[in-house]
Structures are given as structure tokens and as C-alpha cells.
Structure 1
Amino acid sequence: MAPDVPALATRSATPLNRAAVVSAAVALADREGLAAVSMRHLAGELGVVPMALYKHVADKDDLVAAMVDLVVAGYAAPPPGLEWREGVRQRVLGARDALLEHPWLRQAIEAATQRTPSVLGHMDAVAGEFAAGGLSYDLVHHSMHALGHRIWGFSPEAFSSPPASGAPPAPAPPAEEQAAMMAAMAQRFPHISAIAVDTATRHPLGACDEQFEFEFTLDLLLEAFARLHSAGWSSR
């Protein structure tokens, strides 16, 4: 379960502090996106002048790092005693739950230049799940690299679709034109076209199921790590 973020601070009586500033920034990003989190806009939300924020955060980079830290600190921990693969799986999917609740989080993590205590804590907890299963720290190290951004609940894709702009979609071309385009694609790129046809048959409502794809790859990696562990793998 993704973390509960404290409610947006108001213009009323509560004194301003770092926690209130960061919580307000998270709430603002949840509503309007990370690009909306400027010192001026946030100050307006809190009913203070922008300079008042600098008593609590050094700059926007410090603010965004603190926002990430707040959300990551709330990642759900799996119950004790799980088999190591399930422990890793639950921690990674807990991170994904938070990412889905806070869509700006991916951009903030990708742009981050510092590892805060909560970020290091999550990395340590994931590594600890591997180690609890008896995996060598050599294999844990390489497994963490193989998981990559999946530790934070997402997997970067090359040439991914741009975010929705809110504009109405362009009208579909006539059926005859679509058929001609598909025929040309099939001739030039037969394997990609075959995948597209197969996917459309299996998923008539549209694109790939991102959650399924994420969990499929995660489970594949965990199975590979388990096999390497059983085989006594080492990097040297």
C-alpha cells in the first residue's frame, strides 16, 4: 500500500516547518504534476512569501529530494518470514503502488542527484531480502543492478509514448488506408507486425497491460537469481 501523505498545509494557524512544506509540495505535485512545484506556487498554496520557504528547504532540488524521501519512507514493508523471492517481490510492488499513487515520483527519482536516508533504507531493505535467502553479496550486488529502476516500481522503455496531452485524439484514417498501412508494415517489419497482430488478438481493448509486463519481468528476474544462487554463481 502506498503511503498516506499528510494533508496540504493551509493558511491557518499551524506554524510552518520543513515537514509541512514538504507535505504541501507532495500534495501539489499529486494534483498538478512536478512541474507545478515552484517555490512561488508552493508559497501561494501555503499563504506565505516565497522567501519564507527557504528557512526550511535550501532550494527546489532539496525540496524534491525531501518529497521523494517522504513517499519512499512510507513504502509498505512485507510481513516477516517470507521466502526471499516473495519478500523482494512485495517490496518492489510496494514501490510500484506508491508510484501509481504519485505519478510525479518517477520523474523525481530519475532526476535525483542525492540518496536520502529513506532512499538508502529502501535499497538496504531490498538487499536484505536477498541476503536473508542466503544469496552471496556478490550475487546480491549484481541482482540489484539487474533490477535497476524496478526497485523503484518502474522500468524505463525506449521510445515510450508521450504522456497524454488532454487534446482530443486525431481521427482514425479510413479502413482501407489502415489496411494498406498494415500490409506495408507487415512486408517491411514482419516480426513486429506479427507481435502486434497477436497482441491485438489477445488484448482486443488496446495496448499492453503495463502491470502484467512489470510483474512478468520481475518474476523472470527473481527466478533467474534463484537459479544462479542454486548453482553457486560468482562473478569471479
Structure 2
Amino acid sequence: MPEHEPLSRDRVLQAAVGLADEGGVAAVTMRAVAERLGVKPMSLYHHVPHKEAILDGIVDAVFADIELPLDEPDWRAALRHRAHSARTVLGRHSWAIALMESRTHPGPATLHHHDAVLGILSRAGFPYALAGHAYSLLDSYVYGFALTEAALPFAPQDVEIAVGDYLAAFPVGAYPHLAEFAAQHVLQPGYSYGSEFDYGLELILDTLAARLSGAAGP
């Protein structure tokens, strides 16, 4: 950013997101944000009162990045799109996974996001109790999958090497089911752990559709 650009809340939050992307939430301190912006720490307090306000703001920024296809009439397509977008955004900002539902002062983008998802479910005919179950299930799945992806100790393209190294470290026959699983599934051409996301998501959407049909009655 140009040096003459005045300090603002948006600039503070952009700097904080950059720090979190590089070093996790622990890297986000008032001093570190100030250093990133080339200002004194006290200057930040004109725009954010404390670190918790920064965390509120950067979580809100993550929610703002998740796409919500509000014009999509098919609730399954809308929730599928939202789930894929959330996974992509959390892949860029894995530090946010543990913070997404932790804020006691959620921002406008966060509240809009939750309201919009509930609106998609409500317009599809979900009673609010079932909508709550659906929302909780979807978020648990998306956040959990994103967390697993972020924690994998190898790059997706290196899965064959990684699995081979794991199995080679143990005596032949020590873990026969793992070995067979790897041979029959993981090491097959075209395998990608990321594709498991689609399978699980469709399973959830199928189940929700069945529950919605049952809730509608005869």
C-alpha cells in the first residue's frame, strides 16, 4: 500500500489477516500489526480498541469472502456452492477454522452469512429446528474437512510417496487392512483426498433432503 495512505480499520484488518496467514493467530498482536503497517502501536487504538476487536474483524472478513448464491432457487445447489466456497476460503485462512464460531461480538458479514444460510433453508421448507440441525451438520463437516486438509503432513500430489513411506516403516502384514485400503483406493490412479469432500457433502445433502421430505408429511 502507498505510504501516504491514511491508517484505517480496513488497513489494520488487512495487515492482521496477512500476519495470521503467515504465522497463525498467535502472530496477531497490536505490536506486530503496527510494525506491518509502519506505525506506532498506539496509532491502532484510534481504529480498533484492542486485539479482540481485531480478531472479531478478521473473522468477519473471512465470512465476507464466502460466497452465498442467494439467487439460486435450488437449496441443494445453493448449499453445495456455499460449502465449496467455505472450504476454499478456509484453505487460504486455516487459522480461522477454530475462530469462526467463537466470537462474542460477531460482525455484520458474519451475521449476514448466518441469516442468509438460514434463509436458504427456510425458503426450501425446512422447519427452523431441522434448519438448525442441517446448519450445524454442514458446518461441522466443512470446518472438520478443512481442518483435516490443513493438518495433512504432505501435499496432495505427494500422497503416493507418503503412503508408501508409512507402510514401509512397519513389518509386512502388520496392518493388513490399511495396506489393502491403500492399494485398492488411495494408490489408484486419479485418487485425490479432496474428492472425498464431494462424496461426504452429497451424502449429507441426500440425508437432509430425506428428512425434509419426512418433515413435510404426506
Common fold: TM-score over 0.5: yes
Counterpart in 2 of 1:203? 186
Give the TM-score normalised by structure 1: 0.73
Equivalent position amino acid for 2:143 in 1: F
The counterpart of 1:183, out of the listed 173, 185, 198, is 173
Residue equivalent to 1:228: 211
Measure how far apart 1:138 and its partner are. Answer: 2.5
More displaced, 34-43 or 77-86? 77-86
How far has the Cα of 1:226 moved from its partner? 0.7
Partner Cα distance (1:148, 1:81) in 2: 20
Query: In the aligned structure 2, how far is the partner of 1:146 from the partner of 1:20?
Result: 35
> Per the alignment, do residues 158 and 30 of structure 1 end up closer, same or farther by CA in structure 2, a change over 3 Å counting?
closer
Percent identity over paired residues = 32
**Native 8 Å contact 1:25 1:67 kept in 2:** yes
Give the structure 1 partner of residue 112 of structure 2.
Answer: 121
Contact 1:18/1:57 (<8 A) preserved: yes
Deviation at 1:65, TM superposition (A): 1.2
Partner of 1:31: 22
1:129 offset after TM fit, Å? 1.4
Deviation, structure 1 residue 40:
1.1
The one-letter code sitting in structure 2 at the alignment partner of 1:74 is D
Given the two structures, how large is their TM-score scaled by the length of structure 2? 0.79
Instruction: Deviation per CA, 1:16-50: give whole Å up to 9, x if none.
Output: 11111111111222233332221111111111111
**Larger relative helix fraction:** 2
Question: Runs (4+) of structure 1 moved beyond 4 Å?
Answer: 156-165, 172-175
Cα deviation, residue 222, structure 1: 1.1
* C-alpha distance in 2 between matches for 1:107 and 1:59: 20
* Structure 2 gaps, min length 5: 155-161
How many matched pairs?
207
Supply the AA of the counterpart residue of 2:210. R
2:55 aligned to 64, 78, 82, which one?
64
Aligned-partner SS, 1:109: coil
- 1:134 Cα deviation from its structure 2 partner: 1.8
